[in-house]
């Protein structure tokens, strides 16, 4: 792992913000038949760096899919339906960071999930509700400051951003009110994006 | 012999050169510009004109809208072709047409710029029969122009209609100047020749006030404050209606405005909204919106039975009302086949049927759908008009009941009809021919005789059972009654309980809390209604309410818990953000 040059020395960071997008694949049985395999999910996160190794944060996301509805006998109806999910998560993360300006930072963590849903069907009113559960996450952060030290310095001076990472992350979530509901609004997320620390 | 040659030869040489000189005086070329022409843009045509050896080329715009800012070259005429109704449309900024010395602009519409036409320094330019509208600053601007002849134009809804500064020999005559921010301004322009203009509806009337209203002579030729009665200015039809104050009032006794004068394009605009109003066994009735231009003397109906589009084999003239019944029609049709790919889609108390239509068989008038319950033998039927229709929904069916469906094609004798507006009254012999200034064809309509009708055999039966749709996943609606329950969902939500407890145990027990509660119940029905109509915002309301609910939960747990929690948070933030930096500063100072 490369060490940082004196030009872009890493300082202690307190907060982080990130934006990610990727693919969310719900795990509820039969989802593929109605809506297809999955769709794009957008996620924004922010939080506090308790220490260089430990983060605590909150995250909000958005996911939507449309598909044909079914009849009670299992046939395909001409009526269309749409579901929107707003996953909210509180999480802890452990970053495997052992020296300043570490290029590759594996991380893992998890926490509480709360998914709010809106579901609409042609000709009927939209219904809403929520499900609670948990999630686990893991991935890799790549420090971009090393790739462009001059840009990183400018970002620091102009915006106070000390570190910029490209993040790749996989999450597994389960949102079925901790097993008390038969419907699980969680699934697998595969996300990529940018996280800045300042 | 030698003497004869000495005398004759110079003449021979001179005549040869003279011949060459005569043959080099070539009239300007006509360069057509339009979607169907070699030159699609005015800019390309100007490049060609520049490369031509002939001077004084004419760029002839065909039907269409040309979205460009144009800079003319010297000597070029930019002109709309007869009947083309060509439009030069700017990008909303800049000058739409910049004239050049010796250039002229005729018979077109200029819209959507800062300046419609700019007549530059030291130029002689002629502008006639042009409609200039929707120019933000100036309709026509001339700056230090040598000579500008601005006659028989219509300037409507511009900034300043005409502005000429330091321009000598400006002629502004026979123009309609209406609904502009200002009529026109002549600054330091010597020897202006102004007259026979009509001013109406301009917000500021700088010229009219300074030069017309204050005169008390009988020689005033301009017309003030009389509505020119455009046919439809919003649709950019600036023809004049009957009884317009601008008719017969130009400097030659003709019409003031873009459709007056010797070079006007008098082609009428097409008739609009042509429609079939009735179909019968041997007649078809049609109607259309009347063309209100004062030069319209009547209409011509053209119709045919075999194919759509011109030429039409039948015509009727001497029609003055905007409706007509075409009689003595007859025809035969072959039996069509039934539609193919007939299928059914299931809905809630309805079935949507789809098929492949016969878009190219002109005699196909409609389709007939037959349906019945599987337990019955008598069919009901629905007529689906239009050969291009490919679907129909049968409604008011019983869910969970199987229905049988079939479809057939119905053919009837078709007739294709169009209408033109005429400015003359041709005889029966003259009627089929194109008349002077006859408008282009209206959008064609198709009508059918009701008999003979030929119906195809029925398609194979298909069966379908309407059913309600179910959501997937089968989630329950957790809707509630006031704002928080609307945002959160279920009335049984733990969070709602917390808020209600807080209301009952704290808010209602003090006057401030009671006032807050009263205000909340005054506001919440409207907020509730808004949130019901904008359900996508429910999650965001939840996000805003969660912190409040958590704080209230801690508060309700008791003052000791509340104090401990708050104290811990304060210590944490103080330690992280205020104490440590001060420690470092101290250490730094001591170093």
What CATH number is given to the structural domain containing B188? 2.160.20.10
> Are A116 and A24 contacting, i.e. CB atoms less than 8 angstroms apart?
no
Among the candidates B391, B413, B435, a domain finishes at B413
Residue of B nearest to A79 (CA): B347
Interface size A-B, in CB pairs within 8 Å, comes to: 96
Residue B1 in domain: no
Same domain for B347 and B314, yes or no, is no
**B400: Cβ–Cβ under 8 A, 6 or more apart, which residues?**
B465, B466, B467
Q: Which residues of B304-339 are buried (b: 16+ CB within 10 A; e: fewer)?
A: bbeeeeeebeebbbeeeebebebeebebebeebebb
- Closest CA relative to residue A62, chosen from A24, A112, A109, A16: A24
Q: How many domains does chain B have?
A: 4
At B580, the pLDDT band (50, 70, 90 cuts) reads very low
User: pLDDT value at position B156?
Assistant: 97
CA distances from B415 to B320, B329, B363, B383, B389 (A): 22, 9, 9, 20, 19
> Are B438 and B431 contacting, i.e. CB atoms less than 8 angstroms apart?
no
**Residue A151 distance to chain B (closest CA, Å):** 27
Same domain for B350 and B425, yes or no, is no
Same domain for B92 and B227, yes or no, is yes
A129 and B489 within 8 Å at the Cβ level: the answer is yes
Averaged pLDDT, B211-229: 84
B254 or B209, which is more confident: B254
User: pLDDT value at position A133?
Assistant: 93
Helix, strand, or coil (residue B110):
strand
Same domain for B142 and B208, yes or no, is yes
Is pLDDT at B519 greater than 60 in this prediction? Answer: yes
User: Strand B30-33 to strand B58-61: parallel, antiparallel, or no bridges (unpaired)?
Assistant: parallel
What is the distance between the alpha carbons of residues A5 and B544, in angstroms, rounded to a whole number? 43
Candidate from B347, B475, B539 with C-beta closest to A86: B539
Same domain for B84 and B137, yes or no, is yes
User: pLDDT value at position B571?
Assistant: 64
Is pLDDT at B460 greater than 90 in this prediction? Answer: yes
Is B345's Cβ below 8 Å from some Cβ in A?
yes
CA distances from A89 to B58, B192, B548 (A): 71, 78, 17
Is pLDDT at B111 greater than 90 in this prediction? Answer: yes
| Confidence (pTM) | 0.67
Q: Which residues of A165-185 are buried (b: 16+ CB within 10 A; e: fewer)?
A: bebbbebebbbbeeeebebbb
Residue B181 in domain: yes
Same domain for B120 and B208, yes or no, is yes
- Closest CA relative to residue A89, chosen from A29, A147, A149, A41: A41
Percent of chain B predicted with pLDDT > 70: 80
Q: With beta carbons under 8 A apart, name residues in chain B contacting A118.
A: 535-536, 538-539
Is pLDDT at B548 greater than 80 in this prediction? Answer: no
A78 and B347 within 8 Å at the Cβ level: the answer is yes
Same domain for B187 and B124, yes or no, is yes
User: pLDDT value at position B411?
Assistant: 96
Among the candidates B526, B541, B556, a domain finishes at B556
Is B547's Cβ below 8 Å from some Cβ in A?
no
Tokens of B478: 């957790």
Candidate from A14, A79, A119 with C-beta closest to B348: A79
Residue B565 in domain: no
User: pLDDT value at position A1?
Assistant: 40
Residue of B nearest to A176 (CA): B475
Same domain for B31 and B103, yes or no, is yes
pLDDT digits (tens, 9 = 90+) for B364-390: 999 999 999 999 999 999 999 999 999
> Are A175 and A187 contacting, i.e. CB atoms less than 8 angstroms apart?
no
Is pLDDT at B216 greater than 80 in this prediction? Answer: no
Among the candidates B219, B240, B261, a domain finishes at B240
Averaged pLDDT, B164-168: 85
Residue of A nearest to B575 (CA): A50
User: pLDDT value at position B235?
Assistant: 92
B147 or B114, which is more confident: B114
**Residue B386 distance to chain A (closest CA, Å):** 23
At B263, the pLDDT band (50, 70, 90 cuts) reads very high
Candidate from A31, A67, A116 with C-beta closest to B539: A116
Average pLDDT taken over every residue of chain B: 85
Candidate from A14, A86, A127 with C-beta closest to B479: A127
Residue A190 burial by Cβ neighbours in a 10 Å radius (0-12, 13-18, 19+): middle
Q: With beta carbons under 8 A apart, name residues in chain B contacting A71.
A: 346, 467-470
B533 or B284, which is more confident: B284
Is B581's Cβ below 8 Å from some Cβ in A?
no
At B551, the pLDDT band (50, 70, 90 cuts) reads low
Same domain for B402 and B530, yes or no, is no
What is the distance between the alpha carbons of residues B534 and B552, in angstroms, rounded to a whole number? 27
Same domain for B225 and B352, yes or no, is no
Averaged pLDDT, B100-109: 95
DSSP B238-273: EEEBTT-TTTT-STTSS--STT-STT---PPPPPEE
B210 or B537, which is more confident: B210
* Interface list for chain A against chain B, based on CB atoms closer than 8 Å: 14, 28, 30-31, 34-35, 60, 67, 69-73, 75-79, 81, 83-84, 86, 88, 116-119, 121-123, 126-130, 183, 185
Is pLDDT at B17 greater than 70 in this prediction? Answer: no
pLDDT digits (tens, 9 = 90+) for B397-438: 999 999 999 999 999 999 999 999 999 999 999 999 999 999
User: pLDDT value at position A142?
Assistant: 95
Compute φ and ψ for A62, nearest 5 degrees: -145, 135
- Closest CA relative to residue B422, chosen from B407, B404, B440, B398: B440
Same domain for B154 and B218, yes or no, is yes
User: pLDDT value at position B144?
Assistant: 87
Is pLDDT at B560 greater than 80 in this prediction? Answer: no
Same domain for B50 and B109, yes or no, is yes
Q: Which CATH number applies to A11-197: 2.40.160.20, 3.30.930.10, 2.60.40.420, 3.40.640.10? A: 2.40.160.20
Residue B513 in domain: yes
Task: Match 């001591």 to its residue by tokens.
Answer: B590
Task: Match 């016969």 to its residue by tokens.
Answer: B358
What is the distance between the alpha carbons of residues B441 and B333, in angstroms, rounded to a whole number? 27
Averaged pLDDT, B146-170: 92
Is pLDDT at B463 greater than 60 in this prediction? Answer: yes
Is B402's Cβ below 8 Å from some Cβ in A?
no
At B566, the pLDDT band (50, 70, 90 cuts) reads low
A69 and B472 within 8 Å at the Cβ level: the answer is yes
B479 and A128 within 8 Å at the Cβ level: the answer is yes
Residue B561 in domain: no
User: pLDDT value at position A67?
Assistant: 92
User: pLDDT value at position B92?
Assistant: 86
**A43: Cβ–Cβ under 8 A, 6 or more apart, which residues?**
A18, A19, A20, A21, A22, A59, A60, A61, A62, A87, A189, A191, A193
Percent of chain B predicted with pLDDT > 90: 62
Is pLDDT at B187 greater than 60 in this prediction? Answer: yes
What is the distance between the alpha carbons of residues B244 and B227, in angstroms, rounded to a whole number? 7
Name the helix (H) or strand (E) containing B24.
Answer: helix B2-24
Question: Running DSSP on this structure, what letter comes out for residue B537?
Answer: G
Residues in chain A, pLDDT under 70:
1-11
Please compute, for residue B577, the number of CA atoms within 13 A of its CA located in the half-sphere on the CB side.
11
Residue B458 in domain: no
ipTM surpassing 0.95, yes or no?
no
User: pLDDT value at position B467?
Assistant: 93
**Residue B345 distance to chain A (closest CA, Å):** 6
Structural domain span for residue B226: 27-240
A116 and B347 within 8 Å at the Cβ level: the answer is no
CATH label of the domain that carries residue B377: 2.60.40.10
> Are B186 and B168 contacting, i.e. CB atoms less than 8 angstroms apart?
no
**Residue B398 distance to chain A (closest CA, Å):** 14
């Amino acid at each position: 792992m490369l060490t940082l040059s004196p030009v872009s020395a890493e300082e202690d960071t307190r907060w982080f913000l990130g934006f990610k997008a990727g693919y969310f694949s719900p795990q509820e049985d039969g989802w593929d038949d109605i809506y297809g395999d999955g769709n794009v999910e957008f996620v924004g996160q922010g939080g506090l760096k308790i220490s260089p190794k430990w983060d605590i944060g909150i995250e909000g996301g958005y996911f939507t899919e449309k598909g044909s509805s079914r009849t009670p006998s299992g046939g395909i109806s001409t009526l269309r339906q749409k579901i929107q999910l707003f996953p909210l998560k509180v999480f802890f993360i452990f970053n495997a960071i052992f020296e300043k300006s570490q290029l590759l930072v594996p991380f893992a963590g998890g926490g509480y999930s709360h998914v709010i849903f809106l579901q609409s069907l042609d000709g009927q009113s939209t219904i809403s509700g929520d499900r609670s559960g948990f999630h686990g996450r893991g991935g890799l952060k790549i420090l971009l400051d090393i790739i462009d030290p001059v840009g990183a310095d400018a970002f620091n001076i102009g915006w106070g951003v000390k570190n910029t990472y490209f993040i790749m992350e996989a999450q597994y979530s389960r949102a079925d009110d901790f097993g008390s509901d038969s419907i699980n609004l969680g699934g697998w997320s595969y996300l990529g994006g940018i996280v800045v620390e300042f | 012999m030698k003497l004869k040659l000495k005398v004759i030869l110079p003449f021979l040489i001179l005549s040869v050169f003279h011949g060459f000189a005569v043959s080099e005086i070539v009239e300007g070329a006509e360069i057509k510009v339009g979607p169907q022409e070699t030159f699609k843009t005015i800019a390309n045509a100007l490049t060609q004109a520049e490369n031509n050896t002939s001077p004084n080329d004419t760029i002839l715009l065909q039907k269409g809208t040309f979205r460009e800012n144009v800079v003319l070259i010297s000597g070029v005429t930019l002109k709309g072709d007869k009947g083309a109704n060509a439009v030069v449309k700017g990008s909303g900024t800049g000058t739409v047409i910049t004239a050049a010395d010796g250039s002229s602009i005729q018979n077109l519409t200029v819209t959507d710029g800062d300046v419609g036409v700019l007549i530059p320094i030291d130029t002689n330019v002629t502008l006639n029969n042009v409609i200039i509208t929707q120019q933000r600053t100036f309709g026509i601007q001339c700056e230090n122009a040598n000579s500008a002849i601005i006659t028989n134009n219509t300037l409507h809804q511009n900034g300043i209609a005409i502005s000429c500064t330091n321009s000598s020999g400006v002629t502004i005559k026979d123009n309609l100047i209406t609904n502009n921010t200002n009529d026109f301004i002549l600054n330091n322009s010597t020897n202006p020749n102004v007259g026979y203009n009509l001013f109406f509806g301009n917000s500021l009337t700088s010229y009219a006030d300074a030069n017309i209203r204050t005169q008390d002579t009988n020689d005033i030729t301009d017309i003030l404050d009389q509505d020119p009665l455009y046919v439809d200015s919003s649709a950019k039809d600036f023809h004049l209606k009957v009884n317009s104050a601008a008719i017969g009032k130009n400097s030659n006794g003709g019409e003031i405005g873009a459709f007056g004068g010797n070079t006007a394009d008098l082609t009428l605009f097409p008739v609009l909204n042509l429609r079939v109003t009735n179909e019968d066994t041997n007649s078809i009735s049609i109607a259309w919106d009347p063309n209100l231009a004062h030069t319209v003397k009547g209409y011509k109906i053209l119709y045919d039975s075999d194919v759509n589009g011109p030429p039409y084999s039948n015509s009727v003239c001497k029609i003055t009302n905007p409706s007509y019944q075409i009689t003595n029609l007859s025809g035969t049709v072959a039996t069509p086949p039934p539609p193919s790919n007939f299928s059914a889609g299931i809905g809630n108390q309805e079935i949507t049927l789809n098929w492949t239509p016969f878009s190219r068989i002109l005699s196909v008038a409609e389709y007939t759908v037959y349906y019945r319950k599987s337990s019955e033998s008598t069919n009901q039927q629905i007529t689906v008009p239009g050969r291009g229709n490919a679907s129909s929904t049968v409604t008011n069916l019983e869910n969970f009941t199987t229905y049988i469906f079939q479809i057939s094609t119905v053919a009837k004798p078709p007739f294709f009809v169009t209408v033109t507006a005429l400015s003359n009254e041709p005889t029966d012999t003259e009627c089929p021919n194109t008349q002077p200034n006859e408008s282009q064809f209206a959008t064609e309509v198709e009508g059918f005789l009701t008999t003979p009708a030929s119906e195809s055999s029925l398609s194979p039966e298909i069966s379908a059972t309407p059913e309600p749709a179910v959501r997937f996943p089968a989630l329950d609606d957790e809707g509630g009654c006031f704002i928080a329950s609307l945002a959160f969902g279920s009335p049984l939500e733990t969070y709602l309980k917390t808020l209600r407890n807080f209301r009952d145990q704290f808010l209602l027990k003090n006057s401030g809390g009671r006032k807050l509660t009263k205000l909340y119940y005054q506001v919440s029905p409207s907020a509730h209604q808004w949130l019901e109509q904008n359900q996508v915002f429910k999650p965001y309301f939840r996000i805003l309410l969660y912190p409040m609910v958590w704080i209230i939960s801690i508060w309700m747990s008791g003052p000791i818990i509340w104090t401990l929690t708050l104290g811990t948070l304060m210590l944490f933030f103080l330690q992280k953000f205020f104490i440590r930096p001060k420690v470092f500063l101290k250490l730094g100072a001591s170093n």
